[in-house]
Structure 1
Amino acid sequence: MFETLGRFRAAIKHAQSMRAMNSLPPEVQKDIGWPVSPRIDAHANLTRLILGSGR
């Protein structure tokens, strides 16, 4: 049980770190060698959700 909780905690910490790094400005990401995450286009996201990506 404790092993499972430890893995869960590690997964949460990893997700938080990834989110923090991806939220940095692209210039900073590039400076530290982090792959620049694509910026999310809200309109494209909405279109993708409405039309579906399976088409």
Structure 2
Amino acid sequence: MSMFESLGRYGMAIKHAHNRNKSVRAMNSLPPEIQRDIGWPVSPRNDPQATLSALLLGSAR
């Protein structure tokens, strides 16, 4: 296997990972109703109050 074949495979792996992550971000940006309709697990929305509660109540004391 030549060095250029290895670089090509590495480049394709990076491209596939980028495309996969871009698709996941697109699906997560859909409204929850549409996510449920197509069978995508509904992503939790960013709620500052919920985040603060999780940080305060979920910490070890």
Length-normalised TM-score, structure 2: 0.69
Q: Report % sequence identity.
A: 45
Q: Distance in 1 between matches of 2:30 and 2:13?
A: 26
Structure having the higher Rg: 2
Q: Which runs of 4+ in 1 moved over 4 A?
A: none
- Give the root-mean-square deviation of aligned CA atoms: 2.1
Aligned residues: 51
Length-normalised TM-score, structure 1: 0.76
Can you give the 5+ residue segments of structure 1 that lack an aligned partner in the other structure? none
Can you give the 5+ residue segments of structure 2 that lack an aligned partner in the other structure? 1-6
